[in-house]
């Protein structure tokens, strides 16, 4: 077995994972892409373990450890996503910008502090996109700064 084959497959999988993490908007899809990247690393570990003929099997043991850590990561990540969904009614990463720098101009669909009163009147809406239909106030960061 040429070692180039698993190495190239793993490099392609890693790049696909990078694309998914950067391009996807849903948090669960981002978690799936992280899993793809971890699997690329696993394939590399197994291939190089076979190539080097390690007597301690460090590559395969480390693959098992990575699999376990990936399982723990998915568990905690999904708990975080569910808590987020419970509090925000959305898991779209584009709307979760509270830790971002104050952008120049209003970010579309950003639920901010000033919309709290309006939001509590519209308690049944699932989408926080159009929050500016209360009294004509723009949905930007009105009185934040």
Out of 41, 106, 119, 140, the only residue in the binding site for another protein (CB under 8 A) is 119
Token pair belonging to 81? 């996503």
Residue 107 as a binder of another protein (CB under 8 A): the answer is no
Site for another protein in 23-42 (CB under 8 A): 23-26, 28-29, 31-33, 35-36, 39, 42
Would you count residue 9 as binding another protein (CB under 8 A)?
Answer: yes
Told to check if 102 binds another protein by CB under 8 A, we report no
Q: How many CA atoms lie within 13 A of 34 on its CB side?
A: 16
Handedness of CA 92, 39, 79, 82 (dihedral sign): positive
Q: Between residues 113 and 138, which has the closer beta carbon with respect to another protein?
A: 113
**Among 86, 43, 89, 33, which Cα is nearest to 66's?**
43
With CB under 8 A, what is the number of residues at the site for another protein? 85
Separation between Cα atoms, residue 111 and residue 94, nearest integer Å:
11
User: Does 103 sit near another protein (CB under 8 A)?
Assistant: no
Query: To 10 degrees, the CA torsion angle through 103, 108, 114, 120?
Result: -150
The DSSP bridge partners found for residue 92 are 26
Q: Which of residues 100, 101, 123, 145 is near another protein by CB under 8 A? A: 123
**Among residue numbers 40 through 99, which ones bind another protein (CB under 8 A)?**
42-43, 46-47, 49-53, 56-58, 60-61, 63-65, 67-76, 78-83, 85-89, 91-94, 98
Q: How far is the CB of 136 from another protein (least distance, A)?
A: 19
> How many CB atoms are located within 10 Å of the residue 85 CB?
13
* Residue 2 within binding range of another protein, rule CB under 8 A: yes
Number of neighbouring beta carbons within 10 Å of residue 103: 11
């Amino acid at each position: 077995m040429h070692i180039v084959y698993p190495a190239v497959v793993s490099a392609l999988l890693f790049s696909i994972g990078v694309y998914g993490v950067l391009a996807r908007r849903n948090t669960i899809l981002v978690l799936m892409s992280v899993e793809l990247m971890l699997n690329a690393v696993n394939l590399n570990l197994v291939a190089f373990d076979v190539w080097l003929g390690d007597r301690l099997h460090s590559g395969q043991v480390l693959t098992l450890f990575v699999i376990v850590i990936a399982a723990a990561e998915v568990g905690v990540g999904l708990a975080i996503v569910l808590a987020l969904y419970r509090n925000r009614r959305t898991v779209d990463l584009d709307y979760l910008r509270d830790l971002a720098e104050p952008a120049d101009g209003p970010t579309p669909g950003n639920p901010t502090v000033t919309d709290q009163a309006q939001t509590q009147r519209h308690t049944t809406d699932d989408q926080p996109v159009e929050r500016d239909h209360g009294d004509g106030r723009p949905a930007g960061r009105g009185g934040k700064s």
